[in-house]
Structure 1
């Protein structure tokens, strides 16, 4: 896996973990009406992680010479909860996280 691929994998995991934290926080706040601490912590963290993931998707698209469809799928995957992690696993399996011929590592 290329350095850009590793960065994408890390961004996808971080985005997924913060999504999960935010979902738990929303359950605690709205579902169980216990505390809003999870939302107050994971809301901003997920916002930052989302923006980081989007930036890394664009970086990987350029650096790894992804086809347009791959970049669009990666961006859309950030919207529904917890989709970035299986997407990263699929991209790894089909070779999109490795340097392609003629691309910088």
Structure 2
């Protein structure tokens, strides 16, 4: 799977889960079905939200985006559906072009520990997949333990 395909898959999933969360809120507050629609939609959206932020960081590092663009990419997940036009902007400006960087080049950044670690992971897709799941799952588990902002009702 190319960086473009990976990013676009997660960005699309992030937008879809916004729909689940919004639908859950409509069912909870409009139809009065209780908390369960928001609990389910919120959990799924939260998980994919975290996956999107991790993906934006991973792809940004691989594609050598400026740090500010990586932050903007992550921030687009906060506003419903903003990942879709941002994805189109990235495509239009060639920011998703290129393959995974599995070997070092003459670029000065290729000697940084972050690039060495990135190359080691993307050269081993199973390691990358397991690391991705562990990072996303670890962040989600930590947030579930900490609890929602403002505490539990």
TM bucket by the smaller chain? 0.7 to 0.9
The aligned residue for residue 5 of structure 1 is 4
The aligned residue for residue 90 of structure 2 is 91
- Which consecutive unaligned segments of at least 5 residues does structure 2 have? 103-153
- Which consecutive unaligned segments of at least 5 residues does structure 1 have? none
Shift of 1:72: 1.5
Higher relative contact order (CA 8 A, sep 6+): 1
Equivalent runs, 1:16-31 vs 2, <5 Å: 16-31=15-30
1:61-93 per-residue CA deviation (whole Å, 9 max, x = no partner) reads: 111111223212111101111111111111111
Shift of 1:97: 0.7
Matched, 1:104 2:133: no
* Counterpart-to-counterpart distance in 1, 2:5 and 2:48: 16
Shift of 1:15: 0.6
Q: Provide the TM-score with structure 1 as the length reference.
A: 0.85
* Counterpart-to-counterpart distance in 1, 2:91 and 2:5: 10
* Counterpart-to-counterpart distance in 2, 1:31 and 1:70: 38
DSSP-derived class of the 2:97 partner: coil
Find the structure with the greater CA-based Rg.
Answer: 2
The aligned residue for residue 109 of structure 2 is none
Shift of 1:40: 2.7
Which has the higher mean CA deviation after the structures are superposed, 12-21 or 40-49? 40-49
Q: Provide the TM-score with structure 2 as the length reference.
A: 0.60
RMSD: 2.0
Shift of 1:12: 0.5
